[in-house]
Amino acid sequence: MIVAVVGPTATGKSDLALDLAQVLSEATGAGAPAEIVNADAFQLYRGMDIGTAKVPVAERRGIVHHQIDVLGPDEDASVARYQEAARADLDAIDARRARAVVVGGSGLYVRALLDHMDFPGTDAEVRARLEQRAETEGGRALHAELARLDPAAAESIGPANTRRVVRALEVIEITGRPYTANLPRQEYVRPAVQIGLDCDRETLDARVAGRVDRMWDAGLVEEVRRLAAPAQGGTGPGLGATAARAVGYAEVLRWFAGEWTEDEARAAVVANTRRLARKQMGWFGRDPRVRWLDAGSPTLRDDALAVVRAADAGELPAPGEGPVRRSLGS
């Protein structure tokens, strides 16, 4: 069974994942150590270490990590490409009869790895034809066609959202299946248990502020300068469109561009990290399968191990049954 540690940033997911991997390795014997699979979109990038809170190699306790440092900072990340590569890692880990511990706060990446989620391709010719029809016939005509082919999709996509209507019709034509058949389902592709780390808003805000202070002291500004191209205010090869949007990097780049002072950039990193944490909690909080634990509990590791052992034994209550944990800030 895959163990996934999820939740908002700054709650200690990486530390708990290392603790679990270490204990689970010792429990299964040297022949089947646990291995960690990253599910943080920005830890995929080489050189983006401080700003993504990447665990340094020397602090990984000898535990193998996958899906870290697999992209150059000038490349664009792809959820579909991540799904293919990370699932191949899970297959290899399983073949070694080892335990996979997934850790990360990028909700879409976690879902793409653990759940049934398809990524239909694109067809430029089909899309261009549909877009031309939208121009000549109007978006409502295409929406009516979508309602005939996939009523559920048409109900969720309003007639005014022509871009999404076109995409839905494109997927239907490419795949020969309803658009809704390709949407993610809360259904694991292989046995898994998700452990979520939660804490109250005041505590989390303090953790975020402390993390940003540590990142600044550790050299975040120098890291961004080393990665950014001269046109971005740096001396490096450049940050691609995806990497440049990462919290911590985007704000420093705006400082380099003269839009903000250093103090303004630093304050924005704190504010945007807090905003990110709220967004992550909203994403994971909608998944009833997540087993929430208090990130500040002195018995956190043992609490998490108890969840894993109950899951292994098939003794966890079904989603919605048993005690319900509060959500962030409630």
Binding residues: 7-14
CA–CA dist 141, 156 (Å, integer): 16
Bridge partners (DSSP) of residue 194 are 4
Instruction: Decide the pairing of beta strands 2-6 and 100-103.
Output: parallel
Please give the structure tokens belonging to residue 91. Answer: 């297959």
CA–CA dist 71, 42 (Å, integer): 9
Please give the structure tokens belonging to residue 220. Answer: 């975040």
CA distances from 105 to 39, 46, 93 (A): 7, 18, 21
**DSSP class per residue in 174-187:** HHSS-GGGGS-EEE
Give the Cβ contact number of residue 208 at 10 Å.
23
CA–CA dist 103, 3 (Å, integer): 8
Which ranges of the chain does DSSP label H, i.e. alpha helix?
Answer: 13-28, 79-95, 107-114, 124-137, 139-149, 151-156, 162-175, 201-218, 220-227, 249-256, 262-285, 300-312
CA distances from 108 to 41, 186, 256 (A): 9, 12, 30
Provide the annotated binding site for ATP.
Answer: 7-14
Contact 174, 120 (CB under 8 A): yes
Provide the annotated binding site for substrate.
Answer: 9-14
